[in-house]
Amino acid sequence: MKTDEELVKEAVDGNNQSFEEIVFRYEKLIFSIAMRMFNNVEDAKDITQEVFIKIYKNMEGAMGRGSFKSWICTVTTNTSIDELRKRKRKKTVPMEKSQEFVDQEPVPLEQIINDEKKVLIENAIDKLSPEEKQIVILRDVQTLSYDEIKDSLNLTLGTVKSRIFRARKKLQTIYTELSNT
Amino acid sequence: MHDNYLEKISLYVDHQLNIQEEKELLAHIDTCEECKSYLQELKDIVLNLNSLEEFEPPKELHNEIMDKINIEYNKKNRTKKIINLNFSLKNVATVAAAYLVVTFSISALLNSFNGTESTSNSEMAYVKSYGTSIETNTMGAIASEAEVNVEEDTIENMEPRLFASPQKSMSGVNNTRYVEKNTYIDLNCENVEDVKITLMNSYNINNLNTNEDLYAYLEVEVSLDEYDGFADYIAGFGEISSTNSVVVDNTNQVIILNNKLKEKRLQIERYKELMKNSQDAGELLYLTNSISALEVEISQLNKEVTQLYNKHNNPVIILTANKTEVNIKTDEISLLEKIKNAFITSLNVTTDFFTYLSLIVAVLLPYLAVAIVIIYIIQKQRRGGYEK
């Protein structure tokens, strides 16, 4: 299997099949990040398309930049934040995951609790500000390192540490509130 | 104060504390229920965040993305093509404009010195070389001279009119004739092998046939410049017994080849025009391949034309070296004279061809330059806003 760097190089040279391979690899990731940023399928679709066009136009800039995945994650969260700033946030619809969970077959109690926790977490993420969502998604969902976040967002290490702390603290507060209701 | 510990707990979860900081934090947590509880909750949340699943994108999303990418791809390629065109046209137009300025400046300067009417340098040279002896034929591309049975001609009775100077017909078609001339010379000599070996070491022999030691046919191609020298050279091997000359008129062949070349170049232009408007990758590939194939054919045709020109410029002497004793007429004119007579007309044709070519270039080039500048200006006006 070709590495991301090889595919990017081929795509830069004009090979559209290589770019399609990149789309296959990352459409789920980008769509998921966009879903967490917007909690809305249509918006997530629009953002995913916009992000891929940005990637296509700026692939040369992605070469030699370090982790391609961390670059994609950052482009996605930044694009989402820009979009959220531009317009009023649309009214959220219940996430598909919540619906799926209701329709599923009975499962062991422990797993139900786990899944319930995840639904609560998703809902808690949704209540964060766009910037807080960004940092939580990059660090705790996509598990980017502190250095990767620092480089991607062009921040100092101290700022990254304090932003992660504040976002987590707020998420924890919201999560506790949601758990008690 | 407590927030300070909470931030350290966040760093501790991510293994961002050094050993000393970690020890201090753990010592505090042992004594602080609030921090202990916060650590446990944070670990739990981070664990859940880490294991969140990705959302499955809608099935149609992939195709929608690729549709947009293909639009971008076409846009990118079209823009690149137009920019390339403008760049190259700009450069050509700049050169053309510079050429015009220089040409007209020099022309004005020369006219001011000579006080003559405006005549291009090449045209003057043409008149100077041929004076009033230029024959005219205004009936079309193929002159009536082609009907002359050249095979019956010998060196002695060949006339310059057979190889007419380039003419310009009323329709403007160049009437240059392309004549290939072969001279056969029979040479009686003591040793055929010596002649053969000596010639092989000195001249490029195209064909060589031998029949033991009785005779040898040697086809030697020499340039007009070295022709006199060659005549002297072979005279040293023995006695000339007879000479003959055959003239082959290749004009039609040259015209046919040039028409084919023109047709293929036009075809390339048509394909290039189609490429500008095409957005289909398959079609573009087909057009690119077709252009490449045509370029190969053009290269081959050019080679054939060059070969004909070479034959036209460099006479072929087919020398038959004989061991057989024959009576040689001593009153014949010298070989050197015969050769001079035979090739003088070829010399005219050759010189005419290049003179006329330079005349055409000199006359047409300014018009071409003006046309390029005008095309560039039109292109720029038409696409002015595009590159921005």
CA distances B365 to A34, B12, B120, B266, B376, Å, are 62, 81, 12, 20, 16
Q: Which chain B positions have a beta carbon within 8 Å of A147's beta carbon? A: none
Q: B99 pLDDT exceeds 90?
A: no
Helices (H) and strands (E) in chain B, counts: 10, 5
Per-residue pLDDT, B187: 79
CB contact under 8 A, B50 and A52: no
The C-alpha angle A129, B17, B35, rounded to 5 degrees, equals 65
Contact flag B69-A48 (C-beta cutoff 8 Å): no
pLDDT digits (tens, 9 = 90+) for B309-355: 777 777 788 888 876 554 444 445 555 565 556 655 555 555 556 66
Which of B222, B176, B212, B384 has its CA nearest to residue B319? Answer: B222
Q: What is the pLDDT averaged over residues A23-49?
A: 93
CB contact under 8 A, B38 and A16: no
pLDDT band at A161 (very low <50, low <70, confident <90, very high): very high
The whole-number pLDDT of residue A167 equals: 94
pLDDT average, residue stretch B39-58: 91
Q: Are B318 and B184 in contact (CB under 8 A)?
A: yes
pLDDT tens readout for residues A100-138: 444 445 555 566 556 788 888 999 999 999 999 999 999
Chain B partners of A53 at a C-beta cutoff of 8 Å?
Answer: 68-69, 72
Contacts 24+ apart (CB under 8 A), B87-94: B89/B372, B89/B375, B89/B376, B89/B379, B90/B376, B92/B372, B92/B376, B93/B372, B93/B373, B93/B375, B93/B376, B93/B377
pLDDT of residue A98: 44
Say if the Cβ atoms of A165 and B49 lie within 8 Å: no
Distance CA B196, CA B193 (A): 5
**Token digits for B251?**
């004009």
Can you tell me the mean pLDDT for A151-156?
88
* Nearest neighbour of B10 by CB, restricted to A23, A28, A165: A165
Find the residue in B nearest to A56 (Cα).
Answer: B69
Q: Would the CB atoms of B69 and A52 count as touching at under 8 Å?
A: yes
The burial of B117, by beta-carbon neighbours within 10 Å (0-12 exposed, 13-18 middle, 19 or more buried), is given as: exposed
Confidence at residue B352, expressed as pLDDT on a 0 to 100 scale: 56
Higher pLDDT, A62 or B79: A62
Contact A176 B41 (CB under 8 A): yes
Rounded mean pLDDT of B352-364? 69
Distance CA B346, CA B179 (A): 7
- Pairing type for strands B238-249 and B316-322 reads unpaired
pLDDT at B119: 36
Least confident among B72-81, B189-198, B237-246, B345-354? B345-354
Residue B245: pLDDT above 90?
no
**Does position A39 have pLDDT exceeding 70, yes or no?**
yes
* pLDDT on residue B175: 57
Question: A54 to chain B: which residues are within 8 Å by CB?
Answer: none
- Count of CB atoms within 10 A of residue B352's CB? 21
Residue B48 has pLDDT above 70, yes or no: yes
* Interval B175-225: pLDDT, tens: 566 777 777 777 778 777 778 888 888 887 877 776 655 677 888 887 777
Mapping DSSP to helix (H, G, I), strand (E, B) and coil, where does residue B65 land? helix
Q: In the A/B pair of chains, how many CB contacts fall below 8 A?
A: 102
- Kindly determine whether residue B6 and residue A169, on different chains, have CB atoms separated by under 8 Å: yes
Pick the most confident of A1-10, A122-131, B242-251, B267-276. A122-131
Predicted pLDDT at A170: 94
Report the distance separating Cα B388 and Cα B386, nearest Å.
5
- Closest to B160 measured CA to CA, from B140, B135, B183, B197: B135
- CA-to-CA distance for B68 and A54, rounded, in angstroms? 11
Nearest to B195 by CA among B181, B210, B174: B210
What value does the mean pLDDT take over residues A145-153? 90
- CB proximity B69 to A under 8 Å: yes
Proportion of chain B above pLDDT 70, given as a percent: 63
Question: What ipTM, to 2 d.p.?
Answer: 0.85
Percent of chain A with pLDDT over 90: 50
The answer to whether A57 and B79 are in contact (CB under 8 A) is: no
**How confident is the model over A41-54, as pLDDT tens digits?**
999 999 999 999 99
